[in-house]
Structure 1
Amino acid sequence: MIEKFLPAVVLFVAGLAAAADEPVAPPPAEPAYATVRPMIAEQQRLVAPNAIEVSEAVELGGLKQWITIRGADKANPVLIYVHGGPGAAEMGRSWPYQRGWEDFFTVVQWDQRGTAKTLRAGGEAANKAELTRERMAKDLVELMALVRQRLGVERVVLLGHSWGNVIGLDAAMARPEWVSAYVGVGPLLALQANEKAQYEGLLAEARKRKDATALAELEAIAPYPGEGDIPFAKVNVARKWVQAYGGLAAYRDNANFYFRAARLSPYYEFEDRLAIDAGGQLSVPALLPDMKRADHRRIPETRFPVLMFLGRHDLTTPASVIEPWLTQLKAPAKKLVWFEHSAHLAPHEEPGRFLVALVEHVRPLASR
């Protein structure tokens, strides 16, 4: 039963070992959230003459899927955020950092099929019908086409976080002429290699700390990930210690600040937030076979610049899997940018430095 493994299922690839953030009924403080959300919406309202602020469902792959388009000046280059998980919608969690981006980019957030507002609007059956890597990459290509037409741009920046890099790179390679730059944030490139490096990193950290409890639990799941299927019970153990050791959010043993950000989002109601957790339960079992086959380290060359934004403390998607690929990759330009005080959630953990990195390294490559 999937319900037994909710902590791992919520964000299997991102490595977020949190159970559902929301209770099954609205919490007693929900009226307080409802009071604060309009304040945040007003503070973040874009009022300049050439600004854009859109929230709507658009048809991608025959399914209505929710997007937002926000920017202070429609003349700015376009950036599409491809969220992780699978099922870890970012739209409702992006408000703490995204407003700064919107002065330099027109930012598109997208709730992928199988999660959050898209799941709530279309229902489980419609969302599950074509919940595959191939279909979701095609959804992203369709989204790129829609954005290009609506905003009158030739190319866009794609930014993939964690699992989002699986379909993000798929779409970029399918339409390289539409991509001005590709940014990978804590990217998942190859699941089996990722899990192996993560496990080795956890063992090393446990030994360094002389943490007998962690060592006993980690050694009990050996070999990890092993060959064939990866049992969720083993995943739960690995994710528990990733989080406890600050490999999800640096210097923290939890990421509640990230999970709970959606409670104050102007774009999410209580039911939308519940649909994030439901999206993890729906998406991971459906997409796990596709994830296991994914290995973007096989990409030898791209026609677009590639930037990797990595948290120095990330145990979720270890850099040891990413750096060798980037070193060998042939691309018009490539760059590795480190976030010294981040793990897997750099936009949330170091929002100021992340914005500076986007402006310094990505915007000069971006074009309309």
Structure 2
Amino acid sequence: MSNLQKELLDWTNSILSTLDCNKIVNITPLREQASLRSYFRLTTDMGTKVGVVSVPESNVNSTFEELSSSLLRNNIKVPRIEASNHRKGFMIVEDFGDKVLQLEMNLENQKEFYKEAINQIHKIQDIQPFQGLNILSEETLKQQMKLFEEWFLAGLLDLEYSDDEKSIVFEAYNFIAKECAQQPFVLCHFDFEFRNLMLTSDGSIGILDFQDLCVGPYTLDFVSILKDIENPLIDTDLSAYLKHCLVGLDSSEISIPSFEGLKRDIDFGGFQRQLRILGTLARLHLRDKKSFRLNDLIQTLKFLMDDTANYEELKGLSDFLKKKVEPKLLQTLKAII
């Protein structure tokens, strides 16, 4: 047992009376996460719970607890916080089980899962944004995309590219950020991937990893599942799910002019996310020594490369990605993995 597990176990044993159980039978690590938190399943004589450990100085647990309470009050199914000690960086939260939608999805249930996930996004977007949340201004959206150059092109790939190519990337940031900033702004989960959605014991969807909740373009959460790297959609399926998005948006306060308008907005939300994610995952490997998502870079780049080719203003970026970045990425990953 690691020191971290022992400290969590000792603290949990000291508060058993508040957790409606008498003893801890077992403690096991859960799947590796991209976040800076560690997760453990605590098996008790009265069922299971999840122990969460973070660096106390980061305040991520206190933020998580506040957001959990706010989302639960608005009927969003997120884990209840059963106990916390922010000084130690410990929390005990409700256990949603092991059925991750990413792994549970198949050809028979895909349509149902996608539509229910889209419905959950609509529910989140209908909530009046909480006070104190980050607002993704045009400048913030641009800064997030710059992770692509800092951590992906320079850090991971050590790519040499010309001043003209740098200008192409810079202009792409400006164009994409401007397009995204013109979209309606709503409450965003900001990491609404199928890997963060759980099929709970009552058959409903539970939502994890909401600590980056913010106010931003309405397409950011939609694109997280519509451009899911584990499940690239064929055009007919993508169109069907876009139409389902449109039905929900029609009954909300978000004004979308047409199906084509939604598709364009989704594309640009995707470009912003994909540039950001390429940088974030490279940073996860280089800085945080977590390499389990390196393979995700390939499909993320493919989405970006293929879809930017459909816009005259971004064809230069698409060509740069195809001719220079993709070959270098494949070469780099072959040497690492």
Question: What TM-score bracket applies, with the shorter chain setting the length?
Answer: under 0.3
Structure number with greater Rg is 2
